[in-house]
Structure 1
Amino acid sequence: MAYEGILLGMGNPLLDVSAVVDEDFLNKYDIKVNNAILAEDKHLPMYDELASKSNVEYIAGGATQNSIKVAQWMLQIPGATSYIGCIGKDKFGEEMKKNCTSAGVNVHYYEDEAKPTGTCAVCVVGGERSLVANLSAANCYKSEHLKRPENWGLVEKAKYYYIAGFFLTVSPDSIQLVAEHAAAKNKVFTMNLSAPFICEFFKDAQEKVLPYMDYVFGNETEAITFAKVHGWETDNVEEIALKISQWPKASGTHKRITVITQGAEPVVVAEDGKVKLYPVIFLPKEKLVDTNGAGDAFVGGFLSQLILEKPIEDCVKAGCYASNVIIQRSGCTYPEKPDFS
């Protein structure tokens, strides 16, 4: 089958612990609205507090895994996608495996004996989400697992790769292995800026793999942070997208295309020294449930059309469609079938 295993994702599988909270809750744990951070000791009691709320939901998540699941849903082609990451040997890990497999994704998890499956606190206030990730087992991924024949086989089979920038905190050597394979075999390697803290504190790891990226995804806050970290005197998102697309490349087969989302504002696409803006689908405020997974869903939708070799315009449309569906539901979830044409 031509599409079997065509898209491979690699990242931090996390079980989302999602609940609606208030401003006081955010202040108590020193959390900013619409941000994504790694948990510190002061955040740890928060997970139990969220779990005790009557509106709490558990959803298999993690940025890359969300995108891969959405791509799989959009494609409706069994086994088109695969995913690699690390979970614990526990009930949350089992839950995750069940959830992803039933979504049609071929998962090859590395199971860590000592650490529990990673969780992500999703604090929803007025539809906006703030994420605090406690990586636990997700932090234990090793490239030895990737090199095993049954897992490297997934890398060899795939023609497109997607890795969220969050994985730079865990296994940059695994990313490098996949990136170099993609460049050597003329395949398409894509990544995401993922969060301001990745651009700031993992700048060197990000710069090392940037030459291999054929598509760079991100949102406006991440793009502006990236520019600041690199001393670019601009916070103009279009200009930044263009500069990222012109960063030197390791392989000359594919040009680099930068895709930056801006919430309700148009999507910025930079390629060939030009910038194009694509409007998003308008959603009245009262229909917004929560923005958790919106960016991940956009990437999943985009990739679903990219691997079908559709033009960029169709990829962006699919991304906008998928994120529009996701923000009208709780967490990164979707109806049984997409209604995208």
Structure 2
Amino acid sequence: MPYYDVLCIGNAIVDIVAPCDEAFLETNGLIKGAMDLIDARRADLLYSRMSPAIEVSGGSAGNTAAGVASFGGRAAFVGKVSSDRLGEIYTHDMREQGVAFDTKPLKNEPRTARSMIFVTPDGERSMNTYLGACVELGPEDVEADKAYEAKVTYFEGYLWDATRGKEAIRRTAMLAHAAGREVSMTLSDSLCVDRYREEFLTLLRSGTVSLVFANSGEIKSLYQTVSFEEALDAFRKDCNIGVVTRSGRGSVIVCGNETVVVRATNIEELVDTTGAGDLYAAGFLYGYTSGRSLKDCGDLGSLAAGLVIQQIGARPRQNLRREAEQAGLL
């Protein structure tokens, strides 16, 4: 029997989150609502201009792993940090949250990755990420036992920004498939889709991944259309299960001819959208690996996403299993 429910692979990043106004974005040439890759010098400059900030462990797939563990699932994570202060923080946080994290850290440069996240009053986040040690993740970091023993291996599209990261994913997928396991991915970001559209489509159409997470903007970018319905129809044909989040409009799950519409969770206040998609994936994957219906999976995803957007930071502060039980979802 599989030991892990979900193996997550992604960029191990410490998020540095601070509020800002629209003028700050314009003055500093920041792209609102997107993730922009930056170098170490740019990272140091933006950090020097930030208002008082909160440092929290993040990274898309890392957030998902933490969410799965909070639901009570057995989660593992593969990602690269360095032997520095932020790397120690990241490793401690993952293990404290109950996630198996055993990737060997780098001993020297580059430094542990960090993302300067600027949150405007509307809750939208603009991420500026220095990948640092993340780009050193490679096939030698693949843990065959975890690939064999996880029901689902889940990775983030952001890994395609590093050639060796792609190699690590392909090797892990090969091992997972050999063990009869499933492989899943998130498209991560519309700009990421623009960079790797053909490669992502190949991953879907070749069956390398069978369960795919995206938001409405990402699937429209993937299929180069302004029509959500047209993009959704194409998405349905290219993957076994496609999950599309639509912010306040909830989510849509497609599987063959089946379409499941899931309502968004009611919230009291939108604080920070960082991690909404990551935590939705956590809830969905927990439900999926527990054998629940697609509707139940979507409801668990919506619950987790709705909770995380009412706080600063992308890791759940509440015990998600307890919250799901109180909501009658478990």
| Same fold, judged at TM 0.5 (above) | yes
Q: Deviations over 1:103-132 (max 9, x none)?
A: 000002231222110001110001111111
Residue 244 of structure 1: aligned partner: 235
Q: Deviations over 1:251-279 (max 9, x none)?
A: xxxx6111110110131211113433221
Moved more, 330-339 or 56-65: 330-339
Residue 302 of structure 2: aligned partner: 320
Q: Match for 2:250 among 262, 266, 270?
A: 266
Q: CA 1:243 to 1:199, structure 2 compared with 1: closer, same or farther past 3 Å?
A: same
Secondary structure at the aligned position of 1:189 is classed as strand
Aligned identity (percent) is: 22
Aligned positions of 1:214-225 closer than 5 A? 214-225=210-221
Secondary structure at the aligned position of 2:105 is classed as strand
Residues 238 and 275, structure 1, Cα contact 8 Å, conserved in 2:
no
CA RMSD of aligned residues (A): 1.7
Residues 25 and 31, structure 2, Cα contact 8 Å, conserved in 1:
yes
Secondary structure at the aligned position of 2:4 is classed as coil
Residue 111 of structure 1: aligned partner: 105
Residue 250 of structure 1: aligned partner: none
Residues 13 and 61, structure 1, Cα contact 8 Å, conserved in 2:
yes
Q: Match for 2:56 among 56, 59, 78?
A: 59
Count, aligned residues: 316
Partners of 2:137 and 2:28 in 1: how far apart?
A: 28
Task: Give the AA of the match of 2:61.
Answer: T
Q: Match for 1:95 among 82, 89, 94?
A: 89
Partners of 2:156 and 2:77 in 1: how far apart?
A: 12
How far off is 1:207 after superposition?
3.2
Matched, 1:278 2:262: yes
TM-score by length of 2: 0.91
List runs of 5+ in structure 1 lacking aligned partners. 229-233, 248-254
Partners of 2:87 and 2:188 in 1: how far apart?
A: 23
How far off is 1:336 after superposition?
4.1
Aligned positions of 1:1-341 closer than 5 A? 4-40=3-39, 42=42, 44-50=44-50, 53-54=51-52, 56-75=53-72, 77=73, 80-112=74-106, 113-126=108-121, 127-146=123-142, 151-170=143-162, 171-210=165-204, 211=206, 212-228=208-224, 234-247=225-238, 256-284=240-268, 287-338=269-320, 339-340=323-324, 341=329
Secondary structure at the aligned position of 2:265 is classed as coil
Secondary structure at the aligned position of 2:223 is classed as helix
Q: Deviations over 1:69-90 (max 9, x none)?
A: 0111012x5xx11100111110
How far off is 1:3 after superposition?
6.3
Q: CA 1:67 to 1:337, structure 2 compared with 1: closer, same or farther past 3 Å?
A: same
How far off is 1:21 after superposition?
0.9
How far off is 1:33 after superposition?
2.0
Partners of 1:203 and 1:243 in 2: how far apart?
A: 14
Task: Give the AA of the match of 2:47.
Answer: Y
Task: Give the AA of the match of 1:155.
Answer: A
Q: Deviations over 1:157-183 (max 9, x none)?
A: 112111010111121111111222333
Secondary structure at the aligned position of 1:159 is classed as strand
How far off is 1:18 after superposition?
0.4
